[in-house]
Chains A and B, each alone.
Chain A
Amino acid sequence: MLILKIAFRNIFRQKRRSVLTALTMAGGFTLAAISIGWSDGSYNFIIDMFTRNRLGHIQIHKNGYRDRPSLYKTIPNYRQVGEKIAGVKGVEGWTPRLFAAALASVGEKTSGVQITGIDPVHENQCTRFDKKIVQGKPFQFNPNKDVIMGKGLAKILRARIGDEVVIVTQGADGSIANDIYRLVGIVETGDKMLDRTVLYMHLRDAQDLLVLPDQVHEIAVIVHHLKQVPELAKQITKVLNNPELEVAPWQVFAHSFYQAMKADQEGMWIMLFVILLVVAVGVLNTVLMSVLERQREYGLLKAIGTQPNQIVLLVLNEVNFLALGSILVGALLGTAVNYLLSHQGITLPQAFTYGGMEFKTMYTEVNARSLYLPAITILLSAWIVSFFPALKAARTDPAKAMRIH
C-alpha cells in the first residue's frame, strides 16, 4: 500500500513534467478516440446508406440466383416467406423485388433499363423509397401501370412526369411482353450508376408483365442493428428451413464493398501505432528522468529491505497513475467530441462518392471501441517504455547510489 502511496505522490514532485506527460497521453487518447469514433461512424454510416437505402442488410434468393441471375430463378409464395422473416426478433422489415432487363422508350428515345418491381408499402417501410422521389409522386397502393425512373434514365430518355413509357421485354412464358405505362415520378437513389438504368414499377404490374404471378427474385431484409446481421442471417436460414433458398448477409452479397470497407479500416491501426510511438517517447523521457534523479532513493529503499520487484512495481505504478488519469481525461474529452459530432456531423467541403453513392456529411460514433482501444494503446506504450527504466531502478546498487563509498 505504501508503495502505491509513494508512486502516487511521486507524480506531484515534478508537477510540470508530469503535466506535460499527462497531456501527451491524454492528447493521444483523445485523438485516438475521435479517430476511431470517426472511422467507425463513417464506416457504419456508409454501410447503412449502402445497405438500408437499396440492397438491404440481408437478401434471400433462390439458390444460384446471385451467381447467375435468371428470370426463372424465383421465390414462390413470397408472402409466406416474408411473414416468417418478419417473425424473427431483430428484423425491422422485409421487401420483395422482381428484376428484369427491358427496353424502355419515351417518344423517339429508347434505352436499356432494369425493371425493378417493388411493393410500395414494404419498400417505403424498409428503404424509404418514397423519400427518394425528387419529382412527381410515389406509387399508389394498388397497381395502376405507373412507373418511376431514375433521374439519370429520365435524362437519357428526356422523359417528363406524365409521359408514356413503352416497355418491351421477355415474359417467363417465352412471350414478348410489352405494355404502355405512365411516368409518375423521378427518383434519386443516391447511386448515380443505378439511377441511369433503373425503372421501378408496382410489383404486381411487374409480375403481370413478366408472367411471374406471386413470385419474386429477391427479398431484402432490414434489421434494427447492423452488428446483428450475421446472427440474424443464420436465424432466418433456420426459420425458413428451405434448402432451395439462399440467405446472404450484406458482407456476402456485397463482398467487394465489404472488403473495401475493411481495408479502409486497417488505416486505423497505423494511426494507433503512431499514437503509441508519440506516447512512448513522452513517457520514456519522464520515466528515465525520474529514475535517474531518484537513484539515491531507490538505493535507500533497497538498503532498508525493499525487494527489487517492489521497486519495479513502484516505477510502473507511478506511470500507471499518470496513464489512468490521462485516460480518464482523454475519455471524457474524446467522448464529448464524438457525441457532439455524432449528432451534428461534419460537413465535408466537397462530397465524395463511394460505391456509386454520394456522401457529404459524415458522423462519428460513440462506442466502447473508441475508449478501450486507445486505453490499451496508452497503457501498453507506457508499460513497454517504463519497464526497462523500472528494471534499472530495481538493479540500483544501494551502496553506490547513496554514495557511501
Chain B
Amino acid sequence: MKNSEIVIKTENVTKIYSDNGIPVHALRGVDLTIHKGEFTAIVGPSGSGKTTLLNIISGLDMPTEGRVWLNNKLISEMSGKELSDFRRDHIGFIFQAYNLIPVLTVEENVEYIMLLQGVPKEERHKRVVEILKEVGLEGFEHRFPTQLSGGQQQRVAIARAMVANPSLILADEPTANLDSQTGSALLDKMRELNERTGMTFVFSTHDQMIMERAKRLVVLKDGHIEKDLWKE
C-alpha cells in the first residue's frame, strides 16, 4: 500500500483557532501521508482535532501553518474556484447527519454532483442506476430524504459520495446516527467498495466498528499524531 500513489500529504499542519480571543491549538504539526486505496480511520477523543484535520485535508478549512497536498497539488496555491472544482471532482463527502438536499429525490441527490460536472444526461442516469443498485436502494429513486430511514439516507450519501468516482472519500462520523446493525452493514459495504474499486476512504471516528474494519488507524491526541498503526 505504502508504495502506491499518494492521495493526501500533510506537512507540519498546524491549526490555531481563536475562542473568544484565546488561541486554541486544534492541530500541532501533523505530518500524514495517505496512499491510494487506503481504508484509514483517524481516531481520538473529542477535541483531539479529527474533524479539523478532515476539514483541512478536504480544503474546507486552511491550516494556520504547514502544507497540504491533494493528489500532488498544493491546496494553498489553489484559488477558491479551483478548490471548489477540485472537491467536486476528487473528493466525496459522507457526513454524520447525512446532509442530503431535502427538496431533491434520492435520484436527484445522487445526480447533483454529476450535473455540476456537466456529465451528459444519459450517462448520469446510467451511473445513478448502477450506484443505487450498489448501495441497495433500487426502487427508492423517487423518494425524498424525509421518506427514508437513517440508514437509507446514509446509503444515499454514500452513493452521492461515490457516484462521481472521486479519488478520496472523507467520512466524518458516518455511523454516529445509525443503529449498530445498520452501521455495521454500511461499513461492510464501504469496505467492499474499497476493496473492489480501490477508492480511498478516510474516516474521522471514535466508533469501534470502524476501527475494527480500518486497515490503518491514525490516533490523534491534543492535536498531534500519537500513533499510526497499520493493521495489514
A binds B: yes
Which A residues lie at the B interface, using CB under 8 A?
1-2, 5-6, 9-10, 13, 296-297, 300-308, 310, 398-399, 402, 404-405
Contacts A6-B103, A399-B55, A404-B51 aside, 11 further interface pairs with beta carbons under 8 A come to A2-B108, A5-B103, A304-B113, A304-B160, A305-B84, A305-B85, A306-B88, A307-B81, A399-B60, A402-B99, A405-B17
Q: Is B22 in contact with chain A by the CB < 8 A criterion?
A: no
Our count of residue pairs bridging A and B at CB distance below 8 angstroms stands at 67
Size category, B interface = 20 to 34
Which residues of chain B come closer than 8 Å to A398, judged between CB atoms? 60
Q: Please state if A304 and B103 are interface contacts (CB–CB under 8 Å).
A: no
- Partner among B55, B89, B103 whose Cβ is within 8 Å of the Cβ of A305: B89
Closest 5 CB pairs of A and B: A305-B88, A9-B103, A399-B60, A300-B99, A399-B61
Which residues of chain A come closer than 8 Å to B81, judged between CB atoms? 307
Q: Please state if A2 and B89 are interface contacts (CB–CB under 8 Å).
A: no
How many Å lie between the Cα of A356 and that of B61 in the bound state? Answer: 76
Q: How far is the CB of A246 from chain B (nearest CB, A)?
A: 67
Given A2-B112, A399-B55, A405-B17, are A307 and B84 neighbors across the interface (CB < 8 Å)? yes
**Which residue on A lies nearest to B100, using beta carbons?**
A300
How many Å lie between the Cα of A302 and that of B60 in the bound state? Answer: 9
Q: List 28 A-B contacts (CB under 8 A).
A: A2-B104, A5-B104, A5-B108, A6-B101, A6-B103, A9-B104, A13-B103, A296-B99, A297-B102, A300-B101, A301-B101, A303-B58, A304-B88, A304-B93, A304-B113, A304-B160, A305-B85, A305-B88, A305-B89, A306-B88, A307-B84, A308-B80, A398-B60, A399-B60, A402-B97, A402-B99, A404-B51, A405-B55
Given A402-B95, A404-B60, are A305 and B116 neighbors across the interface (CB < 8 Å)? yes
How many Å lie between the Cα of A308 and that of B84 in the bound state? Answer: 9
Which residues of chain B come closer than 8 Å to A302, judged between CB atoms? 84
Q: Is B48 in contact with chain A by the CB < 8 A criterion?
A: no
**Which residue on A lies nearest to B114, using beta carbons?**
A2
Which residues of chain A come closer than 8 Å to B78, judged between CB atoms? none
Q: Please state if B60 and A303 are interface contacts (CB–CB under 8 Å).
A: yes
Which residues of chain B come closer than 8 Å to A402, judged between CB atoms? 95, 97, 99
**Which residue on B lies nearest to A8, using beta carbons?**
B103
Which residues of chain B come closer than 8 Å to A10, judged between CB atoms? 103
**Which residue on A lies nearest to B86, using beta carbons?**
A305
How many Å lie between the Cα of A234 and that of B17 in the bound state? Answer: 76
Q: Please state if B93 and A405 are interface contacts (CB–CB under 8 Å).
A: no
Q: Please state if B111 and A305 are interface contacts (CB–CB under 8 Å).
A: no
**Which residue on A lies nearest to B117, using beta carbons?**
A305
Q: How far is the CB of A309 from chain B (nearest CB, A)?
A: 9
Which residues of chain A come closer than 8 Å to B60, judged between CB atoms? 303, 398-399, 404
**Which residue on B lies nearest to A307, using beta carbons?**
B84
Q: Please state if B115 and A305 are interface contacts (CB–CB under 8 Å).
A: no
Q: Please state if A305 and B172 are interface contacts (CB–CB under 8 Å).
A: no
Which residues of chain B come closer than 8 Å to A296, judged between CB atoms? 99
**Which residue on B lies nearest to A1, using beta carbons?**
B115
Given A399-B55, A399-B61, A404-B55, are A303 and B87 neighbors across the interface (CB < 8 Å)? yes
Which residues of chain A come closer than 8 Å to B115, judged between CB atoms? 1-2
